[in-house]
Every structure is written in structure tokens, then in C-alpha cells.
Amino acid sequence: MQSEAASRYSRQTLLPEIGIAGQERLLASSVAVIGCGALGTVIASGIVRAGVGRVRIVDRDYVELNNLQRQVLFDEDDIAEGLPKAIAAARKLSKVNSHVDIDPIVADVNPDNVERMIDGVDLVLDGTDNFETRLLVNDACVKHTIPWIYGAVISTYGMTMSIVPHQTMCFRCFVPEMPLPGSVPTCDTVGVLGAAANVVGSLEVAQALRLLTHREEPVQPRLIYLDVWEGIWEEMEMHKQETDCPACDLGRYEFLEAQEGHRAITLCGRDAVQIRPRVGAGRPFSFAQLAERLQSVGEVQYNDFLLRFRTDHHELTIFPDGRTIVKGVGDEAEAKSMYARYVGL
């Protein structure tokens, strides 16, 4: 290991659990962080600072004021610039560790692209906020035998678990079916304590470093649950059930094979709906032309990453592939109507 790297990671290599050999493994490793919100910012920061050589950060959203309470990589300047979270995170972290190859991707993870998002990585880390994306990531990781670390946080509590396909139970074993709408709490209804996200995200980082530096060791199948407000910590042994899992036993990747995906999805923590076009998705269009068309009916601002259009009580944030976040709407039907009216893709 070169002298600069030896100095940078000296406190980490002193740990017998890592050492110089472990640090060299980290430097040669590649990970994907899916979601860069409360959990994802803590994870991305920890992974980059620890010296994982290549870090892909995938997130569909942009920085807003209510993010700053718990999303540790962002500041008010990112809001003023209208930056997507992946771009803002990469800019911050490149100043922390310029030797790490950081690949920011502004995209909605869906059945069409998830396999590309995890291609070539040694490990996937969960910074998402919904069951559907986790079940999709699980399908892709099981199919390609890529370990991943599940993490979730809501209110003052959270949980995390390392998943090694065909060694431990997978996430589909843990959550056999999508929960019914309204059956689980969301950050809209109960909020999120930043400290809880910090703890769960840090646990994901610790598990990641252990997996990457000790790949030959078997992973203990356990779920860690904690409540930082009540001071509760529980560990539960997790074992596969006798019934076959559709994903890791039968090789049926039902979420991955749903190629159409959801066209509209309500976003956690905001009065907003995301619209993802099924036709023409991924084919960039001209922000300049769209801005010219919209200027007569509202306020328009755009940069290389997104276009923001405000009219009446609504705001549309449009990304180069046509994906749009509609704010100030009551339901998905209204969001689709706004999308058709102003974007028309």
C-alpha cells in the first residue's frame, strides 16, 4: 500500500479485524449504494471514507429543504443549485477522498435497469425507502449471486440484515409478499429521527466492511433491530422456512420480470408523485425546447441535470429521461394529468 494511503487509513489498518491486507481488499472492491437519502448518505460517506475503491451512488431524487434534518451529505447550496442527490453526494465525497472512483447515477431503479445498476459490484447497500425496490434489488442480487445489506429506518427505530444469496435467507424469504397499502408506517405519517438513520446506516457500513474484508467467512443469518429513543437493541437469528422461496429456491424473479413496472409511485415524506414514462424512457430530450414551450404558462428553471417548472400550486421536476416528480398533488391520477398536460411524453 502506498504511503499516502497508509497514512489516510492508518487508524483503520491498526484494527486487527482489518489490517493492511483488509485495507487492500477494500481498495480493490466495488459497491453500489441504492438510494441516497437518510440511510444512503450515511452509508456512502462511511464507505468512501473507509477507502472502498469504487462506489456507485444511485438515486432518483433532488435535494430539498426537509432533507437537511437527516441527510448528512447535503446543504443549502445544493438546494439553491437544484442538484440531484447523487450528484450532490458525489461532489461532497470527492473532496473527502479523491482516490475513490465515485459514479453518481440519477435514475429510478426499476426492472428495466436494476441489473445494470449492480453490474460489476461486489456488494449492494440498501438506502431505499420502500419494499418494492428492496424486493426488486433482492431479485437481481439473488439472480447474480451478489451479497447485499438490507436496512430500513422509520420514526426512532430501524433494522438491518446481511444477505448472501444461497447462503443466508434472502429478503423475499423475510418478506414473502408486498405489504398491503396503508399497512405499514411511512415517514409521511410518523416521521424519521436523524439519529436513527445514522445508527442504522453506520451498522450497514460496518457489515459491508466485514463482508468485503472477510469474504471467505460465513455470514451469520441475523436481523438487528434497534430503537434509539428507547435504547433498545435486539438480535434475532433468521432461518429459512420449510416452504420454498420463489426467488432463492425456485429462481422465479417476479419483481425483476415485471418489466413494465409502476408508472406512478407516491414518494415518501412529500406531497409528491413520481411519473416514469413507459414509452421513450431513457431517451433524453432537450430541456431548452421544453423550457421554451413552458415559459408562457409558468416559471421555468433548468440546468444539466433537471428542469423545474412551477405553475399555480404545482411544481414539476423533470429529468432528462422524462421521469418527473409532481409536487402539490393529491393522488396519482392528478399527477398523471399534470404530467400529460405539461410534459406530454
Within the chain, all domains assigned CATH 3.40.50.720 are found at: 3-237
Q: Which pLDDT score is estimated for 266?
A: 76
> 39 exposed, middle or buried (CB, 10 Å; 0-12, 13-18, 19+)?
buried
Class of domain 264-342 as given by CATH: alpha beta
Look up residue 81 and give its three cell numbers.
443549485
pLDDT(46) > 50: yes
Residue 123, SS3 per DSSP: strand
Give residue 279's pLDDT band: very low, low, confident or very high (50, 70, 90): very low
Give residue 240's pLDDT band: very low, low, confident or very high (50, 70, 90): confident
Taking only the tens place, the pLDDT of each residue in 309-326 is 998 788 999 988 888 899
Q: Which pLDDT score is estimated for 321?
A: 81
pLDDT(117) > 90: yes
How would you label 191-216 residue by residue, b for 16+ Cβ within 10 Å and e otherwise? ebbbebbbbbbbbbbebbbbbbbeee
Q: Which pLDDT score is estimated for 280?
A: 47
Question: Side-chain half-sphere of 251: how many Cα atoms within 13 Å?
Answer: 2
Q: Which pLDDT score is estimated for 271?
A: 78
Give residue 284's pLDDT band: very low, low, confident or very high (50, 70, 90): low
Within the chain, all domains assigned CATH 3.30.310.10 are found at: 264-342
Query: At a CB cut-off of 8 Å and minimum separation 6, what does 340 contact?
Result: none
Q: In the chain, pLDDT over 90 holds for what percent of residues?
A: 65
Q: Which pLDDT score is estimated for 23?
A: 97
Residue 5, SS3 per DSSP: helix
pLDDT(333) > 80: no
pLDDT(281) > 50: no
Across residues 238-254, what is the average pLDDT?
Answer: 92
For residues 273 and 262, give the distance between their C-alpha atoms in angstroms, rounded to a whole number. Answer: 12
Taking only the tens place, the pLDDT of each residue in 123-176 is 999 999 888 889 999 999 999 999 999 999 999 999 999 999 999 999 999 999
> 233 exposed, middle or buried (CB, 10 Å; 0-12, 13-18, 19+)?
exposed
Taking only the tens place, the pLDDT of each residue in 179-229 is 754 456 667 557 899 999 999 999 999 999 999 999 888 888 899 999 999
Between 105-109, 171-175, 285-289, the lowest mean confidence (pLDDT) is in 285-289
DSSP letters spanning 131-173: HHHHHHHHHHHHHHT--EEEEEEEBTEEEEEEE-TTTS--HHH
For 232, phi then psi, to 5°, come to -105, 135
For residues 298 and 57, give the distance between their C-alpha atoms in angstroms, rounded to a whole number. Answer: 33
Q: Which pLDDT score is estimated for 261?
A: 44
pLDDT(331) > 90: no
pLDDT(278) > 70: no
User: What number does CATH give the domain 3-237?
Assistant: 3.40.50.720
Q: Which pLDDT score is estimated for 191?
A: 86
> 101 exposed, middle or buried (CB, 10 Å; 0-12, 13-18, 19+)?
exposed
